Structure 1
Amino acid sequence: MVMWIRAYDEAQGLWQYFESDEAGWVLRQVDLRGDDGTPLTAASLEEVLRFQERADIATMSRYEQRYGLVAEGRLTGWEETSLAGAISAEEFERVWLDARRTLGATAPPSDTDR
C-alpha cells in the first residue's frame, strides 16, 4: 500500500512530502522551503533509476540539479514526530505537480530516449 506523508524538518526549515511504498521506501519526494514554500526538490525514484541506468553522467547531473534526489533509506518513526502526518494522495499530487511545474515540468531527455 502506498503512503503519503508530510513532515517538517526544523533543522533544515523544510516541509517534506513523501510518497512511499508499503516497506517505507521513498518513491517520490518534494521539499518546500518552510518560510515561503519555494520548491527545492521534486524527485522520483523511478526517474532517478532510469537516468542512472540509461543516461550519461551529464544528463543525470542535470536531473539532480533541477529536481534533486529522493531520500535514501526507509521512512521510519515519522508517526511519533509532532510535525509529521499522513496526507491524502490528492494533496501529495497537488504539491508534486506544482513543484514539478516550478522546477521545470519534465526531466531532461537522455540520449537513449530519442
Structure 2
Amino acid sequence: MTRWFRSHWAEEDTWFYFEVDADGWVTRQVELQGPLEKPIAASLTEWNAAQQAGTLADYEATFGATAEVPVHQWDIRDPQDLTIGEFETVWRTARAVCQTRARARSTWGA
C-alpha cells in the first residue's frame, strides 16, 4: 500500500514530502529547502529512466534524487501523514518550479 507523509528536519531547515511504496522505498520525494522553500522534486521511475538513458546528471540538476534506502532504515522525525491530494498539490507545484528553473538555466547558458 502506498503511503504519503512529510517530516521537517530542523538542522537542514527542510520539509521532506514522501510517497512510499509497500516495501518502504521512496517512489516520489519533494524537498522544500530553507525559508524560501526552494523545491527539489524527484521520481524514482524517472531517475531510473534517466540513468539508463545516460542523462542522469541532467535529471538530477533539474529534479534532484530520491532517498537511496527504504524509510524503515531512517530516523524519521515526527512524520505527519498526508492524503494523496495533499501530496499531489505539493508535487505539482514543486515540479513546475523545478522545470521553470531548468528552462531558465538553459536560456542563460545559451
TM range (shorter): 0.7 to 0.9
Q: Which residue of 2 aligns with 1:45?
A: 44
Is 2:92 the counterpart of 1:93? no
TM-score w.r.t. the length of structure 2 is: 0.83
Is 2:65 the counterpart of 1:69? Answer: yes
- The residue type equivalent to 1:98 in the other structure is T
SS at match of 1:35: coil
Give the whole-Å Cα distance in 2 for the aligned partners of 1:34 and 1:64. Answer: 19
Measure how far apart 1:37 and its partner are: 2.0
Aligned residues: 99
Larger helix fraction of residues? 2
Identity among equivalent pairs (%):
38
1:35-92 deviation digits (Å, cap 9, x = unpaired): 12221x1000000111112x12xx21011011000011011253xx33x211110010
Give matches, 1:2-81, under 5 Å. Answer: 2-39=2-39, 41-53=40-52, 55-56=53-54, 59-76=55-72, 78=76, 81=77
User: Within 2, Cα distance between the matches of 1:60 and 1:75?
Assistant: 23
Give unpaired runs (5+ residues) of structure 1: 108-114
Q: Provide runs of 4+ in structure 1 moved above 4 Å.
A: none
Q: Distance in 1 between matches of 2:95 and 2:21?
A: 21
Shift of 1:27: 0.1
SS at match of 1:5: strand
Structure 2 unaligned segments of length 5 or more: list them: 103-110
